[in-house]
Structure 1
Amino acid sequence: MARWLRALLAVAAMLVPALLHAQSLESVLSPGRLTASHAKWEDECRSCHVPFDRAAQDRLCADCHKDIGRDMRERTGFHGRQKAQPCRACHTDHKGREARIVAFEPKQFDHTQADFALRGKHRQTDCAKCHETGKKYSAAPADCNACHRKDDVHKGSLGAKCASCHGESSWKETTFDHGSTRFALTGKHADARCDACHKTGAYKETPRACYGCHKGDDQAAKGHQGRFGEKCDSCHGDRGWKPSSFNHDTDTKYALRGQHRQARCNDCHTGPVARVKLGTDCWACHQKDDKHKETLGRDCGSCHTERDWKEKAKFDHDKTEFPLLGAHASTRCDACHTSKVFNEAPKACIGCHRKDDRHEGTLGTDCAACHGERDWKSTAGRFDHARTRFPLRNAHAAAKVACKDCHRDAKSYRPAPLDCLSCHRKDDKHEGQLGAKCESCHSDASWKNARFDHAATRFVLLGRHAAVECKACHKSARYTDAPRECIGCHRKDDKHRQVFGEKCESCHNARAWTLWDFDHTKRTRWPLDGGHRRVACADCHVRPAPGGKLAAPLADTCVACHRKDDVHDGGFGTRCEQCHGVEKWKKVSNRVMRSGATP
């Protein structure tokens, strides 16, 4: 018997007991138990296998797993996008009931291999929010509305194609192209928020007429309140609700000029435009502004202009009986025209200036004889003071001197005094000591600059005295009480403390106080020789001079001044000059030193 036959019979002998209990030979040859999901096909091997045809296994898998088979045929889904390979390459069985036939990690799964690639905010979304527990991952919906139904503020009125407006980066950021609708967004509409026009989620019900959204603007206190109808676009544009684009100059027969351009429409159009027609004359709108009560007629434009109703406009006063000159040209109308009936205004000065008449009528009513239109208070160019007994010159003619400064009685200018003191008594610092002829020193050019000649007095100003201020010597305005002696002004400058008396002029002169000249040799009996030339006056003259004298008399002996220098204590007598000389006290005569004689 052939060797292979004997081996086959041996194997058959061993399998005979098993065949008595097994349903088929395939179950006997199974490599292991199936997973729990395939357990019911444990004894039906042909459900997954075809004898001697391994490639048929993939077909049987697809027949059982129909959704996966469909994906593989249509090349969609995860399995349809994979490279062609046998199912057993990824899914193996016969490893026991607890074995996992699918090795799948959700967090590591590459979602780009599925039909729904994760982009934007979807990358950060947890898997469980889209994939329900107990259901296949492929069963997750791919349309926006399936997950975002609760976010649909439109409540389905715009359909389920959320992606046509919303994106994956942010649900609230929309990319809807409003230009594709019947209401393209232009001008200010492009910046408007959606809910400004779309009050509800039902966008299809949004009005396209301006009045539908801007009715509130029309009914506001500053709006038209329905007077101009509902065709807002006839005046307003989408670039800005304000200002109006309505051109009153070209669209009507009444061009707006001046202040009319700033007037609000409601100021003139108080009723519906379609029914109420406005007049084009001033009186139609400005009747309430007519302060003249129609006494000047209704032709307001003859005086007023559109620039400003209150402006003193086109009326030419020079064409009347009272041309406006000087200050009258800038005077307000109501200053003369106290009533709005202008022809009642007086033409005489006193008619308006009675309250300004300080003379109380004593000089008559011909105000123009002294006053002019340029300035009521100034009489320059009218009244000529030079024709009186007191011509105004210099400071008197200056504008700073008012008439009332001399004419104390405003009622009558005639009794004004002519002498200086009558007006300048308060300026007399001399208290009347120099008399009443002020003009002898003062002039009308300047009261403070006097022309007094000091050389005509008993004290002629020489040297430095000529540059000294008056008040330096004249301590009071009574100039006659000023001292004439030097010591009267220079007592504080006397460094000798009156040792040399009060006749300062004996040594000092008017050129400069520090310059002095006293010839001791010529004016005294004691010539200064040798070291005496360097001795200060006060070293010898220590006692005050007696009255009227230049200095106190001094002894003419050496010991009178050099007693403190006598180191001999009087042992050699008082004739110091026998040994000492005037050049130097300590230098003893050579004659005495050579002889060795005792003085």
Structure 2
Amino acid sequence: MRYLISLFGLTLFLSFNASADTLESVMMPGKVIQGHAKWEDDCQKCHKRFDKEGQNQLCKDCHKEIKQDVSQKNGFHGRMKDERTCVECHTEHKGRAAQIAPINEKTFKHAETDFSLKGAHADAKTECKDCHKPKIKYRDAPSSCNACHKKDDKHEGTLGASCENCHNEKNWKDTKDSFDHNKTKFALDGKHSNVKCDECHKTKKYREAPKDCNSCHKKDDKHKGMFGAKCAGCHTAKDWKETTFDHGKDTKYQLRGKHQSAKCESCHKPNAATLKLATSCVSCHRSDDKHDGSLGDRCEKCHNERNWATAPGFNHDETKFPLRDKHKAAKCQTCHKNGLKEKLPLLCNDCHKKDDDSKGHKGDFGEKCESCHTEKDWKTPSKFNHDRDTKYALRDKHQTTKCVDCHKGKLYGQNLKMDCYSCHKKDDDAKGHKGRYDQKCETCHIEKAWKNVTKFNHDRDTKYRLLDKHMKVKCDACHKANLYKDKIKSTCISCHKSDDKHKGQLSDKCEDCHNEKSWREAKYDHNKSKFPLLGKHYKVDCKKCHLTPAFKDAKTECVSCHVKEDVHKSRLGMQCETCHNARDWKIWDFNHDKDTKFKLDGGHKGIGCYDCHKAPSRGKRLTTPVACGDCHSSDDVHDGNFGRQCERCHVSNSWSELKVGTGFSR
């Protein structure tokens, strides 16, 4: 009951207290520090109800730099081995002036920060306040040398702010262990490595020290400045007397021959560094030129640095006019009468025209002497090859013919024709074909001999082959007119019409029977004619039937040849082949019943041929009458009263026998 009364009283008290807004503010143990004063009434900024662990995160939310150190393991807080809460070290509500981040300077381990104390920094004489100034957080104290020791910088900032590159905390004056001069733009080598710093660095502003040799060694220059200020071009720091300069590699002018022993001053007389010497020979040796400039300024084309007296470097073959044979022995002055500057002509005729006029072709063969002649000997034109260099190859007798025999005028102005006839027309008119065989002599003849026609082949070169006797016939026998204009026919009759013994009866195709070997031998096949040779006809001599060469005049009827042998005296007609054949006359195969319209029956069977065929036939065909009355008119007992058609009543077996149905009987 007392507890309830007390609680009620407390509540009543709080409700009347104007300065207390919340329960937390009433129960606050004391004032916060000045840095947190603006959040004093907002307890939730630092406290989380009923959650002490959450208070640690609220601290980090405000002190972000501490939070970052912890997460990155940097700084004093980030290097702590054991994780602690903020309130273990920093306690609030102790008043506005309270120090909630106390540090014991005597026991604080500076090595647990990002700046470990070494050398003079760890000396007992060095106090914290020397680096950590009032009202500045410990963590914000500068860590660079220059931030604290700028006033001590003897170099006045010329070497930058990175003092640690050369100095250390132990002793500012000792830089041997940390500074390496070879890492600068001026490495110490040779005798420079033993020189004291003060000899080059007159002041503490080291970067202002000159780097070129001449700035320090001008007084030592034996050349007195003639070769410029770039001593390093020839000398080294090891020894001034030893030079690294190579005239061949370091300049565009290689020293050869006597130039190697010449002193520098011989060429580089004024200021060598600023004066660019010409590299031509004549720029130095014009006074030595024995040619007085007549051969030009390029001495090196003939001479070299070894010896001026000889000219082994010049090669005339490298010019546009190489020297061959006799030209090699000619003296220079023979052609170069006015020196090398005068451009000499390159043509043979320009120098040797007088030789051509007096002993040569007198200009008829043009000015291109080199087409035929060489420098070895003018008399032997060994260079020119008529077969290779012209379109007309020389064969056989043409090879021994003199040039002037064909080339009678100007060689190049006269275009000679290449056909035979243009040169040999007079030979054809006098001893040849007199133009009848046209102008194509080369068709038959060759250059070896005109009389031997070895080139032309009638079988190969024409459409008419020469066989047997045609091979021995002279050309003129057939080719009587112009060979090319008058085209000769290839048929036999075109030449041999007058020789035709058949008078044209057997057509124009003589070759069907005859050949070129002999006209008398004929290959005619009689079986292909209208009268095949059968039986005994096959062995009969042609002349027995063909009494004249007009073979078609020969008759084909048997009786025309065998009329004397006709035992029938023409009574059985002229067509012997009706009964007989060529095998044998005695063998006959005539059948009167089948081969005629009159059948032999009855009384007709036993009668002889001549009983009916009594008179000779007047024509080729047999015209024997077939009516009964024609033969039996004398036997007609009716005296013709019943007509001549006896067969209407009678039969051939017997006249007394009548046909049934006639109404008569005998």
TM-score for both structures, normalised by structure 2: 0.38
Higher gyration radius (CA): 2
